[in-house]
Structure 1
Amino acid sequence: MTSNLRWKVIAILVVVALAVVAFYPPKDKVKLGLDLKGGVHLVLRVQTDDALKLETETTAERLRDELSRQSVSVGAIAPQDVRSFRVEGVPADRDADFRRVAGEWVGQVFDRSSAAGGAYTFTLKATQVNRLRQEAVAQALQTIERRVNELGVAEPIVAPHGEGDQILVQMPGVTDVARAKEIIRSTALLELKIVQDGPAPTQEALLAARGGQLPPDLEVVPGAAEAGGTGPVYYLVKRVAGITGRDLRNAKPSLDENNQPAVSFSLNQQGADKFSKLTSENIGKQLAIILDGRIHSAPTIEGRIYDEGRISGSFTQQEVQDLSLTLRSGALPASLTYLEERTVGPSLGADSIRAGVMASVIGLGLVTLFMFGYYKLTGLNALVSVSLNLLILLGFMAYIGAVMTLPGIAGFILTIGMGVDSNVLIFERIKEEIGAGKSARAAVASGFDRVFLTILDTHVASLISAAFLFQFGTGPIRGFATTLFFGLLSNVFTAVFVSRTLFELILSRRPQAAKLSI
């Protein structure tokens, strides 16, 4: 064996060893997709109108508070729809002051139109509508991704899907689908508001002292039944929250004073400053802790509180864990609806793997029979080349963390065909060279040299196709493109370098005039 041939053999062994180390054991190293491992496939729609409604209502309440501080009295301020709100009863002598206050910051987001009787309508600008919708989808995407990652799902897919307001979620290995869906779609909107009145058994009883009329700056929120009670109770609270979930820094499970499951939370610096001011100005009043529009507890403020609080109520340990997770991941900017749900059981995924492996083995077996029948002992060269091609492909997939899917198995089987195709081109060229009177060694060298550019050209074209499939294809197509891409790379190495080295290794042990079994 020459020194050059020895280094070629060593290089092949090193590549094969690295591939084996990368994917063995395959159960731990090769990541399986949803269709092979089982799990859940969801398509959700973000109700972006919720984001518009929140912006409209929040702006209306902020304007009400600002007018009150500026001593500009007006009539009703009420939303008309998700994009607009109306202000009525602006006094003629304070019209200029109203315009000044409203124009300082409301005019940047809303268009203003006037009507008779001191009435104004504020409508979200078209550019702001588009911005709020896009931001709602982007924030929902980030929030869902954080929640799915907190669930401990391996290799989840959270990505935009279809129309601009849809999100695709794939969670391989998830068995408790109902819990996962609830965590994903939970709004988890935390609000801390000062209680003005309550609790009362009914809304009518709550508003009786105010003549049955709900003040514009207040709202009625239901709460959990008190000890010994049978139904919900109602509280009258400020419409604008003093603290929201956006001010949270962390949330974690804990125990309350009765040793029952609860959620402790801490606030960021800005939230702590607001909480400190809110509690110091309202000592002796109740603080409603509202989650998704329902009061879970309303403790009395006994002193200034800086940056920590606790949510207690009738929670189980699992509910506390889930609530902590959703609060940490942030509140969704809008509600979600499920458009599509598909569940793949682990047994179905295992059947797909077995079917894919069986198809690969049968395909490789049939190809081997053909190669031995047509090319005699040289068929062994093709078998070794194709087998190493598949082994190196698995190593590639495991090393970069690519996910193996059912379409990926199809690409895996296609790799067998590509490897055989390359070997057929080479072998036919070698037969032609032998038929022209060249020795076996000269025929092998000439055959590989003449076919190399053809193989390189076809593989580069296929690589470009695979890249486009990956860039513009959906999930299954991208899985196929990934396997195809790395199969092409490994095939160039095995069909050209490995196959030629095997020929040279065999011929190096034979006399110069020896014939080749092809």
Structure 2
Amino acid sequence: MRYPAWKYLLIIVVLIVSTLYALPSLYPDEPAVQISGAKAGTKIDQSILQKAEQILKSQNISSHDNSFTNNAALLRVNSTDAQLKAKEALRQLGDDYVVALNLAPTTPEWLQKIGAKPMKLGLDLRGGVHFLLEVDMDKAIAQRMDTSSTDLRRQFRDNNIKFNNLALNNNVITVQFANNDDRDAAMSFLRRNGNEFSQQAIATDTGPTLRLSYTDVRKQEIQSYAVNQNLTTLRNRINELGVAEALVQTQGNNRIVVELPGVQDTAEAKRVLGRTANLEFRLVSDQNDQYIDQMTGKYNGQPLPAGTEVFAYQSLDSGRQLLLNRNRILTGERVQNASSNLSTDTGGAEVNITLDNAGGKLMSDATRSAIGKRMAVLFIENKQKISYVTDPQTHAQTEVRTPYTESVVINAATVQQMLGSQFRITGLSSPQEASELALMLRSGALAAPMYFVEERVVGPSLGQENIDKGILSTEVGFILVAIWMIAFFRLFGLIANFALVVNLAMILAVMSLLGASLSLPGIAGIIITIGMAVDANVLICERIREEIKWGASPKQAIVAGYDRAYNTIIDSNLTTFIVAFILFAIGSGPIKSFAVTHMIGIVCSMFTSITVTRAIVQLVYGKRRNLTKLSI
């Protein structure tokens, strides 16, 4: 009955690490309220914190250990009831600030220094936010049709196909020609280069005309792409936010469900996820000075020249405007990477942009002949106005959502030389705004606008109730298994119970280190692991009993019990692990949570059931020379 010293050393190291990284889970987060800016550039300073403390004091709500984190103030309170009251009271701060429910960590500082953090909890345990977003399919088709009309105009010119006019109206492209031969040439060109348009040749007073609209198949492709692209973009943005175990999935044909566990600052989540923002790069019109008053910076009201548009410059409130060419050089879809920092020249915020190959070519072609001219960066954001209409008979209020678009020129700089795939945007109001814009571009552009249909916050009070029930069920399961093991296997059962405690500590430590979130299905996985963790020890104990019945000495029975039960334990746990892995691979949400916990539990239970119990048995019986009986 010899047992290698390195295995004892391994067990000691595992016990120490498991204990240290499982300890933070014994320090639950406490309720708190978070004050952040309604806009990314809003500053939160000591004066706001003091004002918030005075408001809470006037309402007899006590707070403690108040602090700043990531340009937000965090005020800790004593209970969830006080948390809800504090949120209502702090609305007095005004619309420039957002007050949200949050949870503050209580882990001791010495544990934080070694990277030990409490295990993350899922939406059903810790609380969080649930969003239901709807993709604007009509807008998706309209945006793609706008792009197609611009591409079509360029393709006709590149292939020497003559036309008098090309216009887009109500998702129909109307092309006018001088004669039927030019129209036939255009129709033949379109048939050779894809069949995405349904063509209608008509005769009008202005001459031969061709009407183009998307086919039904093409519309379905665009709509499917819009949902899938938005789904991918949302996942990228959530990864940028650092939210673990988030749920992002489609619901129906045009809706997306997003659940963010632990994120209770709904303002930040909505600002980043729901922001349907994009960039357009356009040249400032050569006639800008004729139509924009240079003293006031405002449009003088004259009829605009063809092919130009007027936009607000730098902010909607400034009143300044710029006259831009209608044709776009490129859009944010061509952005491959974006990062924010402070300019070494001006000290202001800037965003460094890297375009893909196609975008770099478009930029170089456009700026080759535009040296000395100004190029503008147009920031376009789709929003919704929410109003309520009261029925005069029933007096019931109906919510009405009206989409609208805000377009603001955030930068207009003179082109000094031909640009390529890399350049920078300056003139941003704050580092926070630059960081947020870089995040939008880096995570990918939304293929179509999305609007919030439903918003729900799962409060920590409901999560605490689920936690209490989960802990109770785990305790009951553990106690019943422990009693059964001691009753049937005596000292060996007691050793198995100790290994079970180590197993639970290892599961908590591994999940904390991996950053995995624990949810109700995860608790179910832990409870099943408790039952299965002793299965290996049951096999070992029964095998030792059989060896003793067959005449083996106690020490021989122990060695044979562990050695001969080993293959059976490996086989049974391996097959269970494979099933759990398949659940993780093809499942989503709750199924993944269950599978992750179950897989971690299987690996930990094999270590504790075979290695840890074998070491303890060796310590108890290994040095006894006249061993005649086992407590089994």
Pick the TM interval, shorter chain. Answer: 0.7 to 0.9
Choose the corresponding residue for 2:279, options 190, 215, 238. Answer: 190
Shift of 1:14: 0.4
1:55 aligns with 2:51: no
Shift of 1:235: 6.9
Contact 2:202–2:210 under 8 Å retained in 1: yes
Counterpart in the other structure of 1:180: 269
Shift of 1:57: 1.6
Contact 2:226–2:448 under 8 Å retained in 1: yes
Show the 5 A alignment for 1:186-335. Answer: 186-193=275-282, 194-195=284-285, 198=291, 206=301, 208=303, 217=307, 237-246=324-333, 250=338, 252=340, 268=355, 269-270=360-361, 272-274=363-365, 276-277=367-368, 279-280=370-371, 283=373, 287=376, 289-292=378-381, 293-297=405-409, 304=416, 307=419, 310=425, 312=427, 318-335=432-449
Q: 1:139 to 1:428 in 2, by over 3 A?
A: same
Choose the corresponding residue for 2:122, options 20, 30, 34. Answer: 34
Determine helix, strand or coil for the equivalent of 1:334.
coil
Q: 1:423 to 1:88 in 2, by over 3 A?
A: same
Q: 1:12 to 1:44 in 2, by over 3 A?
A: farther
Q: TM-score, normalised by structure 2?
A: 0.64
CA distance in 2, matches of 1:228, 1:130: 42
Contact 1:44–1:336 under 8 Å retained in 2: yes
What letter is aligned with 1:423?
N
Shift of 1:243: 4.0
Q: TM-score, normalised by structure 1?
A: 0.76
Q: RMSD over aligned Cα, in angstroms?
A: 4.5
Determine helix, strand or coil for the equivalent of 2:210.
strand
Contact 1:247–1:271 under 8 Å retained in 2: no
Q: 1:325 to 1:300 in 2, by over 3 A?
A: closer
Q: 1:261 to 1:413 in 2, by over 3 A?
A: same
Shift of 1:396: 4.5
Q: Which runs of 5+ in 2 are unaligned?
A: 25-115, 382-404
CA distance in 1, matches of 2:577, 2:304: 76
Deviates more, 1:331-340 or 1:126-135: 126-135
What letter is aligned with 1:14?
L
Q: Which has the greater radius of gyration?
A: 1
Choose the corresponding residue for 2:162, options 72, 77, 82. Answer: 72
Show the 5 A alignment for 1:82-121. Answer: 85-88=173-176, 91-99=179-187, 102=190, 105=193, 107=194, 109-117=196-204, 118-121=208-211
Q: RCO higher in 1 or 2 (8 Å CA, sep ≥ 6)? A: 1
Identity score, percent:
28
Shift of 1:423: 3.2
Q: 1:274 to 1:382 in 2, by over 3 A?
A: same
Q: Going by fraction, where is strand more abundant, 1 or 2?
A: 2
Contact 1:466–1:484 under 8 Å retained in 2: yes
Q: How many equivalent residue pairs?
A: 497
Q: 1:460 to 1:190 in 2, by over 3 A?
A: closer
Q: 1:392 to 1:10 in 2, by over 3 A?
A: farther
Q: Which runs of 5+ in 1 are unaligned?
A: none
Contact 1:261–1:320 under 8 Å retained in 2: no
Show the 5 A alignment for 1:135-146. Answer: 135-146=225-236
Counterpart in the other structure of 1:472: 586
Counterpart in the other structure of 2:42: none
Shift of 1:464: 3.2
Shift of 1:55: 2.3
Counterpart in the other structure of 2:3: 6
Counterpart in the other structure of 1:343: 457
What letter is aligned with 1:94?
D
Counterpart in the other structure of 1:21: 17
Shift of 1:469: 1.9
Determine helix, strand or coil for the equivalent of 1:24.
helix
1:419 aligns with 2:419: no
Q: 1:485 to 1:266 in 2, by over 3 A?
A: closer
Show the 5 A alignment for 1:375-414. Answer: 375-394=489-508, 396-397=510-511, 402-414=516-528
CA distance in 2, matches of 1:511, 1:300: 90
Q: 1:14 to 1:29 in 2, by over 3 A?
A: farther
What letter is aligned with 1:280?
I
